[in-house]
Structures are given as C-alpha cells and as structure tokens.
Amino acid sequence: MSEKSEAGFANTANTISSSKAGSSSKAGSSGNVGGSRRVTLFGRANSGKTSLLMHLTGSLQRPVNFPGTSVESVESSCSYEGCQLQVVDLPGVASLTPQSRDEQVAIDSVRDAATKPDLLCFVLDAGKLAVELRLLQELRGLGLPIVVAVTKVDVAESEGFPIDAEQLQRALGLPLVVVDGARGKGIDELRAQLALVSLQPAWLQKPSAANAGTAAESAPRKRAFSRSFTDKLDGWLLNPVFGPIFLTVVVLVMFQLVFTVAEPFMGWIEAGQGWLSGGIEAITNEGALRSFLVDGVVNGVGSSLIFVPQIALLIAFVTCVEATGYMARAVFLLDRLLRRFGLSGRSFIPLASSFACAIPGIAATRILGDERDRLATIAVAPLMSCSARLPVYVVLLAAFFPAYQAGLMLFALYAIGIVTAILVSLILRRTVLKGGHSMLAMELPVYQRPRLLLIGRHTWFSVKSFLVTAGTVIFAATIIVWVLAYFPRSAEIGATFDRERTAVEQSAPADQDDQIAAIDAREAAAYLEQSYLASIGHAVQPVFEPAGFDWRLTVGVLAAFPARELVIPTLGTLYSLGDVEASADNPDPRLKDALRNAKGPDGKPTMNGLIALAVMVFFALCSQCAATLAAIRRETHSWRWPIFVFGYMTLLAWLAAVAIYQIGTLLGFGT
C-alpha cells in the first residue's frame, strides 16, 4: 500500500484509540462491553463488502469484482473483548430507492423493524468517493448508528484519487476506519469500532451544511485532461473492433488451458487410483467384496475425482477474470448483442455464473430490473455448460478426438449452449414473455491486480463443494449402480466359465494367460448382461437407439437426471467390471479404453466419434439437475417454469443427438 494509505491507517488508528479511551464527541464510549450486536455491511456494489466479511469473521465467501455478485444476505459472526458481532453482508445498492430484487432485499432489511440491525457498517469505495457520499447521506436519514469502513485506498491513489482519511472523518462526523479488503489491514481496528462504538442516538445528528460541504470537498479530483490507467486500457478493451476479438481470445485460451494444463495432474490422480485398486485386490479374495471396493468405490467415485484439476482450473480462471474487473467490460461489450435477442447485458452476469453452476446463476437474476428479462434469463441459464458437464466432455474428447482438436471442440460444446440460449430467449421474448425490457446502467470498476489468495480461497471453496458431493451423493449413487450391476449373480454363469478356465489350465497353451483374461472378460460381460441394471437399460434403450446410444449409455443418461455429476461414476462402474490395461503414455486409460473397446452382442463397437459427439451434445443441452430445477421453483414461485425448462431442454437434447447421429451416419461418418 502507498505511503498516503499507510498514513490513513495511522490517523484512523489514533482516532480509534481516542474513542476507546474516553467519551469522544463523535462516537463516545459504548457502555456495552459484552453482549451481542447485529451489524450490517451496507454499501454500493463492488465496494468490497464480501472481502470485508471474510476478514472480519474468518468465513469463506466468494468476493469478485463486478456488480451484482451478492444476491442474498450472508451472515457470519465474530467477537471482540466479549462482544459477539453478528455480521450480515447485503447485496450492493446504488440508492435507497430499489431498482431490482437484490436491492429491495438490502433496503428492506435495514428499514424493517424486525430485521433492522443495531449498527451499520457503511463500506465506502475510496475511488468513487463523490457518489459514495451521496448514498451515505441518504443512509444517515434512517437514524441508525454508522461506522464507515473506507476500502480500496491504494487503488484510488493509483488512479489519481489520493484520500486524506483524517480530513474525511472530521467532515463526516462518524467513526471511520481505513481497511484493505485484500490483505486484511485495518480489520482489527474496524472490529474494535464495531464492538465498542456507542449505540446511543446522541451522535446521530445529520451533518451541518458546512460539514457536508467539507465532505464534498474532500472527494478527490483528478487533474484536468488526465487519463487513468483504467481509462487508457478501456480505450482498447472496449473498442468496438478490438474489444470483441480480445473477449473471444480470452474465452478460447481459458478452454484450451483447462484441457491441457490439467493433464499431468489427472495422470497423478489416475495413478493413485490404480495403486489403490491394486492394493485392494492384493488383500481381498475374488468376489462381491473386491468388486464392491474396486469397481464400486475406487473406480466409481475415482472416475469423478480425476476431473477435479479441470474443474479447479476453470473456476480459478473465471475468478481471475472477475477479480481484474474485466467481467463488467464483457457485460458492456455483449449488451448490444444480447439486447437483439431479448436479454440485457446484465443477463451476462448470471449466465456467466452458470458456467460454474446454474444455481447461483439463477439466484443472480435478481439483479435484473425487468421481470420478463429475469424469467427469460432463468429459463436459459441451465443451457450454460456447468462444471458437472466438463468430465463428460473431457473423457469423450480424449477417447475419440485427437489432442489438437480438444480445445476447439470443448469451445464448440460451450458455444452450443450459448447459441441455443440466445435462440430460446429470442423465442420466449417474442411469445410468452413479450414486451418490456431493462436498460443497462452499471458502473465499471477500476482494473485491479487479482489477489492470488482470494482466487485460491474461492477455487478451494468450489472444489470442496464438489468433493462433498463426490463423498455423499456421488458415492451413494455409485453404490446403487454397483448393486444393480452386480446382482443377480447366477451360479450357472460362474460354473460355465469355471469349466472353460479349467480346460485351458489343463491344456496349458503358450498363450494361457491371454485366454484366461479373455474368459474373465466374457464372464464379466455375461454377468452384466443379466443384471438388474442391464434390464433397466434394455427397457429404455429403444428411446435412445435413434441417437446411437447402447444400453450402457442409456443407463448413464438415466442416472444423470438427478445430477449430472453421476454420469462418469455410473459409466465408470459399468465399464470397470472387466480388467482394463493401463498404459504409461495415457493419463486416464481405464474409461477411455473401455469406451473405445466396448462391443455389442454382434461384436461391433458400440462407441465411435459420431456417437461420442451425439452424447456430448445431448449432455450440453439436457436438463439433468434436480437442484437447478428446485432453484427455478424457488425464484419463480411456480412449478410451471421448472417443468417447462426440464421439458424443452430434454426434448431439444434428444432431437439434437438424433439429428447428429442420423445425419452423420447418412454422410458416412463414424462407420
């Protein structure tokens, strides 16, 4: 931080010390050491409230750098000298007149007597002091005690807006602390103020005209005709020609890195999976227990865990782009395009969030002021390829397409969801959601250097959420799939293949080991063909036969309807029943080799590049997430919208998969 920023910390620290020592005319002594206080973090969007909450309470949140991130209140707690602080982070607001649902939530919570806090912590962005002071002036009219937390002082100075914290505090007549939301500096001083400042109304008078004028004068002004670093960079990145090209390059680089950089890490996970399977096989006898542990647990859950590197890289890259402030520029660049299809540039924020998971994306639609825009965005948000689809893409791309095509193919799969979403929103806005639209009005944040610590925290938060899912829902589902695939266990099948093995062992041919392995594979296939799972798959398979899906893929589709995360574990369980050789030059051989080598009863391969493409497009367009449908129900307060979304996406996915397979077959592809 700059010298002036450090001076601000010193000035603020002195003020806090004096207020704790005695009865300051501005704050006074609290007289409330111990007990508890409900503190609300209040401020404009992108002022740093969420980062402040993380440092105040030690909780792990998702701080990013574009407006509309916080769409729900988040509550956490901390303590100082016996005083328990219940800290609430609210969505950012521009004024006390709400323009969207998220702003309504924030304003109602500080006005409603039932939810009104004991103390407000107004988070003030130092780089936008003039507009911040207007909101603070409105907020003082509520008659609540206020402590001001000034953030981004170093960013303000780098942009040509130096802040004199001591002069600003005198002008406001309020307790004021300069904090650094990225590094956590000043948090102890702020926590002390929140715990010790007086809650008595004696100091809640509005500032005099002289004080108000002094506060306005303390707002920094830039030198005439000067351009900040942000202004200069925006001259290029918001250029109507260069801007869209740069945005496209950013997205392409992201997908290519996700596929290539994670490859060594996937190899290490796969090697660990193979080592664990070998260890279990060495200490267990042939039978149900070994099959359960190896095929059900290790290979089933491991088939999902192996894709953690891709998921982590995707989330880290997106978080990094958000943290720089570039995401808001993407909104601006896409506004004109999206408006042609009935959406607003602000729709890009929930749609971009849906690439990680559609549930927070759907919640983020509350930032849209127009209800028709909001419903249209909700209806198409699940078409964005979330991280749960990524394992399906990666394993099929690696199995059936050369490495140099993988990044481009991955980009195309994500683009399919985006293009389909645009077309669906256009239809909706010209039919059932016809009329009305919101205007784009947002403030572009200054460019900032992304903080690696915050990116790492958010990435770990998302990966941890996936691991919890893998350890609960995915684990339970793989066990169910294993049971259905393992039973019933026919004694007649076992006796038949035992006789074949005995005959081979007695004749002792030169290729005895190969013949025994072939018998074992045929035995596993025979058991699987008469299992409960095969019966279910064969019963439903005629529906998916026009798309080229065999019964195994059909079972994978059915298992994925509760949650897409179950696709790979299900296929891993199905294809792990026979021994699959591993090769040192292939980072993930089991499932890829099993898919390439799988054959039907007629001896023909059941998978090829054309069928793989049909499968990937099906998963790109299909609605397979019960939690997403529940989120739509919660946001729309109706079952009609989740039923509509599930119906149109499933039908659209099936039609697309059938069209790809049938047209491709007619053209001679995949044969």
* The predicted structure's pLDDT at residue 167: 87
Q: Which of 21-30, 62-71, 427-436 has the lowest mean pLDDT?
A: 21-30
- Lookup: tokens for 484: 């259905």
Give the contacts of 291 (CB within 8 A, at least 6 positions apart).
482, 486, 577
Q: What is the pTM of this model?
A: 0.58
* The predicted structure's pLDDT at residue 226: 54
- Helices and strands per DSSP (H, E), number in the chain: 31, 6
Angle between helix 551-560 and 609-621 (nearest 10): 20
- Contact (Cβ atoms closer than 8 angstroms) between residue 652 and residue 621: yes
- Neighbour tally for 227: CB within 10 Å: 13
**pLDDT grade for 161, boundaries at 50, 70 and 90:** confident
Structural domains in the chain? 3-218 (3.40.50.300)
Give the contacts of 258 (CB within 8 A, at least 6 positions apart).
310, 313, 314, 317, 390, 410
* The predicted structure's pLDDT at residue 369: 67
Give CA–CA dist 378/623, Å, rounded: 13
Report pLDDT digits (tens) over 629-661. 888 888 888 889 999 999 999 999 999 999 999
**pLDDT grade for 478, boundaries at 50, 70 and 90:** confident
Mean pLDDT to the nearest integer, 251-271? 77
- Neighbour tally for 666: CB within 10 Å: 8
* The predicted structure's pLDDT at residue 379: 93
Q: Helix or strand or coil: residue 38?
A: strand
Using only C-alpha atoms, the chain has a radius of gyration, in whole angstroms, of 30
Q: Which of 257-261, 414-418, 544-548 has the lowest mean pLDDT?
A: 257-261
The CA distances from residue 102 to 91, 571, 647, in Å, are 6, 41, 29
- Neighbour tally for 374: CB within 10 Å: 25
Preceding peptide of 488 cis, ω within 30°: yes
* The predicted structure's pLDDT at residue 534: 82
Q: Is pLDDT larger for residue 336 or for residue 135?
A: 135
Q: Which of 369, 509, 351 is nearest to 418 (CA)?
A: 351
Q: Is pLDDT larger for residue 23 or for residue 55?
A: 55
Q: Does the pLDDT at position 547 exceed 80?
A: yes
Residue type, 356: A
Q: Does the pLDDT at position 17 exceed 50?
A: no
Give CA–CA dist 579/601, Å, rounded: 19
Mean pLDDT to the nearest integer, 532-545? 88
- Lookup: tokens for 170: 């005198």
> Dihedral through CA 91, CA 342, CA 424, CA 247, nearest 10?
-70
* The predicted structure's pLDDT at residue 441: 59
In the chain, pLDDT over 90 holds for what percent of residues? 12
Q: Does the pLDDT at position 2 exceed 50?
A: no
* The predicted structure's pLDDT at residue 121: 92
**pLDDT grade for 261, boundaries at 50, 70 and 90:** confident
* The predicted structure's pLDDT at residue 148: 93
Q: Are strands 36-43 and 146-151 parallel, antiparallel or unpaired?
A: unpaired
- Lookup: tokens for 280: 């279990």
Which strands form 176-178's sheet, in the order they lie side by side? 74-80, 83-89, 36-43, 119-125, 146-151, 176-178
Give the contacts of 10 (CB within 8 A, at least 6 positions apart).
none
- Contact (Cβ atoms closer than 8 angstroms) between residue 135 and residue 109: no
In the chain, pLDDT over 70 holds for what percent of residues? 78
